């Protein structure tokens, strides 16, 4: 397959990738159930090393038991850990969520902040979590969410040659138009689950196939 050489060819290829993603995943959005930015922050912390499905089984009951950030701020981490046990890594997640709640209540008046700089001061909120919450709950394009799917597909599509998530994000924000950052993240996550899976990508039905020269592309 001919690889893009000029800036114009690279841009045309990116446009083609975005168009292909739009065809395959026109309504891509975050799969984590939430009613407000705080609930999305909690759900995102819970989603580390856990499926969205499992998180969605836990959060309705959790938010009924602790309806506000103030409720989470007041609970002991070991008590919360028992409530979120099925999501795995529950002790660390409970500490992060209680710490996040205390910071949101004490420093931000009970509201999840709207800037990446403030978000990154919240326990348990690294760039991935901050970008998920700002993008999905507030519609603020603060960056590109880089999870395992976005990392893998960005590498396969030669949008980055880095492996560190922060560096991958720096590469992506240079080549993906800012107005596409939020949707692009959701689309790649869906693509990673549906077709471009880690072990054996299903390349035949993939609309990005004509633009993809990944080493592990399937014939
Ligand atoms: S062609 Fe295959 S490897 Fe390339 S993006 Fe599509 S599914 Fe992934």
Q: Is the pLDDT of residue 193 over 90?
A: yes
Catalytic annotation on 174? no
Mean pLDDT of the chain: 97
Taking CA 178 as the corner, what is the angle to CA 173 and CA 180, rounded to the nearest 5 degrees? 100
Q: How far apart are CA 36 and CA 55, in angstroms?
A: 16
Please answer whether residues 59 and 35 qualify as being in contact, where contact means their C-beta atoms are separated by less than 8 angstroms.
no
Pocket residues: Cβ below 6 A from ligand 1:
153, 156-157, 195-196, 201-203, 206, 208-209, 212, 214, 217
pLDDT tens string 116-144: 999 999 998 999 999 999 999 999 999 99
pLDDT tens string 39-98: 999 999 999 999 999 999 999 999 999 999 999 999 999 999 999 999 999 999 999 999
Catalytic annotation on 128? yes
Q: What are phi and psi of 90, to 5 degrees?
A: -70, -30
Selecting among 22, 147, 158, 171, the annotated active-site residue is 147
Q: How far is the CA of 86 from the centre of ligand 1 (A)?
A: 33
Q: Whose CA is nearest to atom 8 of ligand 1?
A: 196
Q: Model-level pTM?
A: 0.92
Cβ within 8 Å of residue 19, ≥6 positions away: none
Q: How far apart are CA 50 and CA 57, in angstroms?
A: 12
Indicate which atom in ligand 1 lies nearest the CA of residue 208: 6
Q: Is the pLDDT of residue 100 over 90?
A: yes
Q: Which residue has the tokens 């919360």?
A: 80
Report H helices in the chain: 7-24, 37-46, 52-65, 69-74, 77-83, 90-107, 116-119, 127-132, 138, 148-156, 165-175, 181-194
Please answer whether residues 130 and 119 qualify as being in contact, where contact means their C-beta atoms are separated by less than 8 angstroms.
yes
């Amino acid at each position: 397959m001919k690889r893009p050489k000029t800036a114009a060819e690279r841009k045309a290829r990116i446009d083609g990738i975005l168009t292909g993603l739009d065809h395959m995943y026109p309504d891509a959005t975050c799969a984590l159930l939430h009613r407000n930015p705080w609930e999305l922050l909690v759900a995102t912390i819970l989603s580390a090393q856990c499926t969205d499905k499992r998180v969605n089984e836990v959060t309705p009951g959790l938010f009924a038991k602790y309806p506000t950030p103030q409720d989470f701020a007041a609970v002991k981490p070991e008590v919360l850990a028992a409530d979120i046990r099925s999501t795995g890594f529950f002790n660390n997640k409970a500490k992060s969520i209680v710490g996040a709640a205390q910071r949101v209540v004490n420093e931000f008046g009970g509201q999840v902040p709207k800037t990446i700089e403030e978000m990154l001061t919240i326990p348990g909120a690294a760039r991935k979590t901050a970008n998920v919450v700002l993008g999905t709950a507030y519609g603020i394009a603060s960056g590109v969410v880089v999870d395992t799917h976005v990392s893998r597909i960005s590498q396969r599509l030669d949008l980055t040659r880095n492996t560190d998530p922060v560096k991958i994000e720096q590469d992506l924000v240079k080549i993906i138009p800012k107005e596409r950052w939020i949707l692009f993240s959701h689309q790649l996550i869906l693509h990673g689950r549906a077709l471009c899976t880690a072990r054996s990508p299903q390349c035949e039905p993939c609309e990005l196939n004509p633009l993809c020269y990944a080493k592990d592309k399937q014939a």
